[in-house]
């Protein structure tokens, strides 16, 4: 006997994306054709198109882009939103698969970034709960199979548009009460800017520099992290 699971995404309309939809988009990504993907999955071309239209209508995004003509016929590829949807499904699927193999609850790992320039520190305004609308250090969850250094670079790019490099560590913060969602452990990195243009994105509605001695109320334990940074800078 072994544990099993079935994964799907829902929104206010109910079911919007699951294993069959994922497999179809994955085949389209691999084969560059809806027709070849439908043959590989042993479903009709009409059924495959119907699945795609249903995904796009339910989620309000375009997941495929088609090109007509050419010597070898038309080609279809996934849009940026389609690729993002695949990755999101794979991320959750990896978590479920891991839990089935390792049925023990473990803390989640996150990273936070401290970027200071001319006495000012970069903060983002949170788009989602918890602490929606409050300012926080840029950062987020480490993905399965990802190095923490790569995670902080990725999160900074997604939330602020900046390219950065980690140059030090302030500390590791593991209080089980620091995040109301779950027990999270974060590594707070000191980073330097390499390039990019500052703009909010992903989970942030705003990204700006604040004078380090005049900060707004901060989410999580980020006030403590910044205070610790000031003792070692």
Q: Which residue has the tokens 């109301």?
A: 180
- The answer to pTM > 0.75 is no
- Say if residue 55 is in the same domain as residue 167: no
Which residues are CB-neighbours of 54 under 8 A, at least 6 positions away?
none
Task: Supply the CATH number for residue 74's domain.
Answer: 1.10.10.10
Question: Which whole number is the average pLDDT over 4-31?
Answer: 92
- Say if residue 138 is in the same domain as residue 95: no
Last residue of a domain, one of 68, 101, 134: 101
User: Do 145 and 176 contact (CB within 8 A), yes or no?
Assistant: no
Share of the chain above pLDDT 90, in %: 81
Question: pLDDT at residue 222 above 80?
Answer: yes
What integer best gives the mean pLDDT of the chain? 92
Tens of pLDDT, residues 69-85: 555 456 899 999 999 99
Q: Is 1 part of a structural domain of the chain?
A: no
Least confident of 94-108, 145-159, 184-198, 218-232: 94-108
The DSSP call for residue 178 is S
Q: Is 37 part of a structural domain of the chain?
A: yes
- Say if residue 29 is in the same domain as residue 124: no
Question: pLDDT at residue 105 above 80?
Answer: no
Question: pLDDT at residue 182 above 60?
Answer: yes
pLDDT at 106: 81
Q: Which domain holds residue 22?
A: 9-101
- Say if residue 114 is in the same domain as residue 200: yes
* CA-based nearest residue to 24, from 42, 5, 6, 4: 42
- Say if residue 183 is in the same domain as residue 93: no
Share of the chain above pLDDT 70, in %: 97
- Say if residue 215 is in the same domain as residue 117: yes
- Say if residue 186 is in the same domain as residue 214: yes
Max CA distance (Å), the chain: 66
Last residue of a domain, one of 81, 101, 121: 101
Last residue of a domain, one of 101, 120, 137: 101
- Say if residue 183 is in the same domain as residue 124: yes
- The torsion angle over the Cα atoms of residues 51, 55, 56 and 62, rounded to 10 degrees, is -90
In the chain, which residue ranges form alpha helices assigned H by DSSP?
A: 19-31, 34-41, 45-59, 80-101, 148-160, 222-232
Q: Is 3 part of a structural domain of the chain?
A: no
Question: pLDDT at residue 146 above 70?
Answer: yes
Distances from the Cα of 40 to the Cαs of 33, 46, 86, 225, in angstroms? 11, 14, 18, 52
pLDDT at 112: 98
């Amino acid at each position: 006997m072994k544990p099993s699971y079935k994964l799907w995404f829902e929104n206010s309309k109910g079911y919007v994306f699951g294993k069959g939809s994922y497999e179809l988009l994955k085949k389209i990504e691999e084969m560059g054709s809806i027709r070849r993907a439908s043959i590989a999955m042993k479903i009709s071309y009409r059924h495959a198109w119907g699945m795609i239209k249903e995904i796009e209508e339910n989620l309000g995004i375009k997941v495929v882009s088609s090109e007509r003509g050419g010597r070898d016929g038309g080609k279809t590829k996934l849009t940026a939103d389609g690729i993002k949807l695949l990755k999101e499904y794979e991320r959750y699927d990896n978590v479920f698969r891991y839990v089935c193999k390792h049925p023990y609850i473990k803390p989640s790992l996150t990273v936070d970034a401290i970027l200071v320039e001319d006495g000012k520190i970069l903060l983002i305004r949170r788009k989602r709960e918890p602490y929606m609308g409050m300012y926080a250090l840029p950062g987020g969850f480490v993905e399965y199979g990802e190095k923490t250094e790569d995670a902080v670079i990725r999160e900074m790019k997604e939330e602020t548009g900046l390219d950065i490099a980690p140059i030090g560590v302030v500390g590791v913060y593991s209080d089980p009460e620091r995040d109301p969602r779950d027990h999270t452990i974060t590594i707070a990195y000191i980073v330097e800017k390499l390039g990019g243009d500052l703009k909010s994105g992903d989970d942030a509605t705003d990204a700006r520099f604040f004078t380090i001695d005049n900060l707004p109320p901060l989410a999580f334990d980020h006030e403590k992290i910044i205070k610790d940074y000031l003792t070692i800078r």
